[in-house]
Each structure stands twice: as structure tokens, then as C-alpha cells.
Chain A
Amino acid sequence: MGISIELEVNGASVSKEVEPRLLLAHLLREELGLTGTKIGCDTSQCGSCTILLDGQAVKSCTVLAVQADGGEITTIEGLANGEYHPVQQAFWDNHGLQCGFCTPGMIISCVDLLGTNPQPSEDEIRHGLEGNLCRCTGYHNIVRAVQDAAETMNG
């Protein structure tokens, strides 16, 4: 049974007929070709699939595409606007990534965090990113990147 859904993805309208069991992460990656969003686990823990749904960071592997019907989605591909988003630039400048697998989800979570708390303390940054796991960096440079992005965005 296909269900018709409509979404706005990175500013563009999308209409699709989907199976109810289709996960939002699979819709984005496989049907819309937006492979920036990663799938890193089967247990809803790693956060590499994080996207913004109606402005809130959510794990797209744990949302059905039909649940997102009518929603507005931003993926990593939708952040740059001619130039890198300040959070993307700060990850670049501060070596906030190594293999890069966690990075799209991590950056989306940082955008969400800075949206609700523009000047987070180091502790608030670490807690704010609890839902995103990184196997490479040890997090220190990610924290520095968020602090740097906060400065740029507030400046």
C-alpha cells in the first residue's frame, strides 16, 4: 500500500508515494539521492543520520517517511548557501573531522544546539552532542569547532 506524502527538502517541494515502512533516512538517501545523511547503526544511537525536521534535529533512521509528511527538512546538503554554513566552516578550520562519517549528523546537531543555545559552555556542548557518536576525533576538535562557530555566528 503506497501512501502519498509531500515534503519540503532543502527548499524544494517533493511529492512521493512511499511504503509505510520506508524510513526517512532511506527516503533521503535512496529515493532523493541525498547521501550526505549517513546510516551508522541499527539501534538509533549513533546520530549520523541526524537531519532537521521542522527545525529540530532528529534521527532520520527512527522516523518513518510517512510521519514526516508535510514537514520541512534540511540535510547537510541544504546548509551551505553559496558559501559554507559557519558550522561547516568551523569544522574545516578546527579539524573537527577525520574520516567524516559522523560529520553531517554532527554538524546538523551543532546547528540545532546553537539555535537553542547561542553561547553554550564546553559542558553544554558535550551534553548537547550526546546523541552523536564519533569514532575518530575524540571530540576535542568538535567542541572547539562549535565554540568557534558560536563566536562567528554571534559576531
Chain B
Amino acid sequence: MYPSKFDYHRPSSVQEAVQILSSNPDAKILAGGHSLIPVMKLRLAAPAALVDIGRIDALQGISRSNGSLRIGACVTYHEIANSADVQAAAPALAEAAGQIGDRQVRYRGTIGGNLSHADPASDLPAAALALGATLHVTGPGGSRSVSASDFFVDLMMTALQPDEILTGVEVPVAQSGTGSAYVKWEHPASGYALCGAAAVVTRGASGSCTGASLCFNGVSSTAVAATAVAASLVGSDLSDATIESAVGDLSIPDATGDMFASAGYRQELAKVMGARALSTARDRA
């Protein structure tokens, strides 16, 4: 199948893209196209116009400054997974990007598209949430920054307005003593996450835990933070037994069930994936 007809725009700046979006309410942004084109081919979406942001220079590239890493919205999973900077500064993000789909998908799909699409099973939202990423957004009124914890609102719903563009993602560079990891249990046919877990832990001089975060995707309608589990680890020795018992108390009240896995199964899976992510992050801290 091929998509319904649409007008095609290829702006060369963010400003120009925003202008086109504001004057075409039925226009949609096209980035890597690996969620949008499939739904257009199935005619589940039929936007009147596409605004291809793939060639805007300001949306490319990974740079490191002042203790943070800035990743342009149109940077692909392939670039992120293979970037020495991302591997060193935010291993959970490199790991999450490297496990998305297949190699063809990783050459095309972008971090901006993944986060904006906010599919419950997308791999990058949990990593962005656990790492405390800041998302930079530009619209007709100017630019603003949104924390990952405010960005993911509900099922495929984000804090973005229809005429706003996610321009880049800022991730704090891991300080010494901090480790992060992403682990995924994938559906054997689709490769999407039945449960993905991202963990970040920091250890103080004595080795005890001074900060932790644990987030999941695939389990409920949007990426969620297991704040109680993370809080219970602070001050602990982060031993396997401690982690085991902390995740034993994990409860995700709005866990979703579908034809592939029940809510209860996902809930149990989250405990196992959560423990694996935490212990891997600990070993890297």
C-alpha cells in the first residue's frame, strides 16, 4: 500500500518548519518516518502535508559541553548507539538505542521521533526519564525546555503542541560514581519491548547508594518512574539481595494487558528487568 496524497515541505530551518506547521493545521512532522510512514501506508493516518525536518542542520549532531550531552532531534539510533560520547556519558541511552528494531530501522529512526511518538513500547522514553533528560522544544511563540518527567503525558501523548518541534535532547553526563543501564524483554516477533527497564544509580565514597532512578516502558500506557523502589534504595548497600527485595515491592498500578501479555505478567516481568537494570547500573557506578 502507498499513502494518501499529501503536500511535501522540506524546510531548511526550524523557524521555517514551525511557520509551515502553524499555517497548516493538518500537517505532520516527518523525521525518520519509521512510525509515521507505516501508519500512512496502512491509511491509519492521512496528513494533508508532511514537513520533512530530516535535513535541518540545527537538528543534527551530538555535542558535549558543561556537564551535559546535547543530541539533535534528528540523530539516528545508529549514531547514538555507536557514539563513544553517549556510551561514556549515558550508557543506558546508547544501550536502548542499540536495541531498537533491526539494523535497517536503526539507520533511519531518530531520537526526536521516538520520544515525540511516545509509543508505550518505545525504548527511548524510559531511558530519557531515568537519565533526567531535558527536552528542548520550539514553537511559534519561541523555545522552551521540558523535563522528561513532564513530557510524557499519556498513551502516545506528549507535552508537544501540534505546531511545536522537539529540537534536541539534553542528558546530564554521568559523574564518577554514577552508572546506568537499559535492559529489554522483547516480543519475539515484533521486537518491541514487553518491558524495558532503565536504571541510574550513584554510589558515594563508602559505596552506599546516594541516588537512584528506575523507569519502565512497555508496561503501561506511557513510560513510568518507579519512584518508591528508587527511593528505598538510597542509603542502601546496593547488594543483589537489597535490589531483589526493593523490586519485590514494585507496583505499577496502571500496568496494561493485551493479547501478548497480561498486566500481571508485565508487572512480574518488570521486577526481573528492573533488578537486572539496577545491578548492571551498580556494576558500572
Contacts and interface: CB of A to CB of B under 8 A. Distances in A.
Chain A bound to chain B: yes
Interface of A: 1, 3, 19-23, 26, 42-45, 47, 50, 56-59, 61-64, 66-67, 109, 112-113, 128, 130-132
8 contacts: A21-B2, A44-B41, A47-B104, A58-B108, A61-B41, A62-B34, A64-B30, A64-B33
Interface string B27-42: 0001001100110111
Most buried by A among B101, B104, B105: B104
What 3 A-B pairs come out closest when comparing CB atoms? A131-B102, A20-B8, A130-B102
Q: Majority SS of interface residues in chain A?
A: mixed
Contact of A131 (B5, B7, B50, B103): B103
Interface in B215-273: none
A130 B103 contact: yes
A59 B78 CA distance: 15
A131 B105 contact: yes
A45 B104 CA distance: 10
Contacts of A64: 8, 30, 33, 37
A66 B103 CA distance: 22
B7 A62 contact: no
A20 B6 contact: yes
Contacts of B42: 42-43
B1 interface: yes
A1 B7 contact: yes
Given A57-B104, A63-B108, A42 B1 contact: yes
A130 B6 contact: no
A31 to B, nearest CB: 13
Interface string B134-166: 000000000000000000000000000000000
A62 B33 contact: yes
A44 B38 contact: yes
Contacts of B6: 20-21
Given A42-B41, A44-B34, A62-B34, A20 B103 contact: no
Nearest to B102: A131
A20 B33 contact: no
Interface in B1-56: 1-8, 10, 30, 33-34, 37-38, 40-42, 50, 52, 54
A67 to B, nearest CB: 6
B204 interface: no
Given A20-B6, A20-B8, A67 B103 contact: no
Given A20-B50, A64-B37, A130-B191, A109 B5 contact: no
Contacts of B1: 42
A19 B33 contact: no
Contacts of A62: 33-34, 37-38, 108
A43 B33 CA distance: 13
